[in-house]
Amino acid sequence: MFFSVSNFSNYRARFSMPGGTENLFYSFNLGPVHFIGISTEMYYFLNYGLKTLVFQYEWLVNDLQEANRPENRARRPWIIVYGHRPMYCSNGNGDDCTHTETLTRVGWPFFHMFGLEELFYKQAVDVEIWAHEHSYERSWPLYDYQIYNGSQADPYRNPRAPIHLITGSAGCKEGREPFDKNRPDWSAFHSQDYGYTRMKAYNRTHLYFEQVSDDKNGAIIDSFWLVKDKHGSYV
């Protein structure tokens, strides 16, 4: 069978995802969580055209608005978005996420159209999960390079911005990603250990995350509770 390589046609033809959005982005509900999977690659391959990027952004706006309808947010209070390329990282490799104006964060260069950070903030997304970097990194509650902890003593209780997680430490023939020697203030924890992340949605108020290290024979090297007494706007 022939698959065109233009405009991600090969992915759309090979894979089947929920929602009827040509397989590049979708959402589903599981327990108290509304999950949204997006493609970050279309921000980096504009030579394939802009139509798919615009289509995803418009779909994403509608999906988040639907998830935030009061009856839906009451039924599924947690909103978690995941995609490949992160908005923030402290890796020392010169990737896009090490720059201040990440494409997924602010959108098209110069025009700043279709950026995702402001949208996710306004639509009260709780957690943003990324990969791409072959490492693990957890942020403090973060928006536009500003930390919005719930409190100094309990930063993840009622935070005032989303939490970013990079969980790309499963292993790759390209090896581990180094970190910059000066860790930014927004980065709460990072590790080069091979491993994986586990999440448990206990109920409408408590999410639990932990990072498992294969290098340390299954030891938990990082963990935190995200606790929200209410869900909705950060402002």
CA gap 233, 215 in Å, rounded: 39
What is the residue range of 132's domain?
A: 21-172+181-227
- What is the CA angle 175-176-181, rounded to 5? 145
**Would residue 15 count as lying in a domain?**
no
The model carries a pTM of 0.94
**Would residue 155 count as lying in a domain?**
yes
- What is the CA angle 83-99-105, rounded to 5? 40
Sequential pLDDT tens for the chain (235 residues): 333 445 777 777 888 888 766 678 999 999 999 999 999 998 998 877 788 899 999 999 999 999 999 999 999 999 999 999 999 999 999 889 999 999 999 998 888 899 999 999 999 999 999 999 999 999 999 999 999 999 999 999 999 999 999 999 997 888 899 999 999 999 999 999 999 999 999 999 999 999 999 999 999 999 999 999 999 999 8
Q: Which among 81, 58, 224 is positioned nearest to 150, based on CA atoms?
A: 224
**Amino acid making up residue 183:** R
CA gap 208, 226 in Å, rounded: 6
How many domains are contained in the chain? 1
**Would residue 7 count as lying in a domain?**
no
Tokens at 68, concatenated = 């935030």
Integer CA distances (angstroms), 108 to 25, 77, 103, 130, in order = 19, 31, 6, 19
**Would residue 190 count as lying in a domain?**
yes
Q: What are the residues whose beta carbons fall under 8 Å from the beta carbon of 204, sequence distance 6 or more?
A: 32, 77, 78, 231
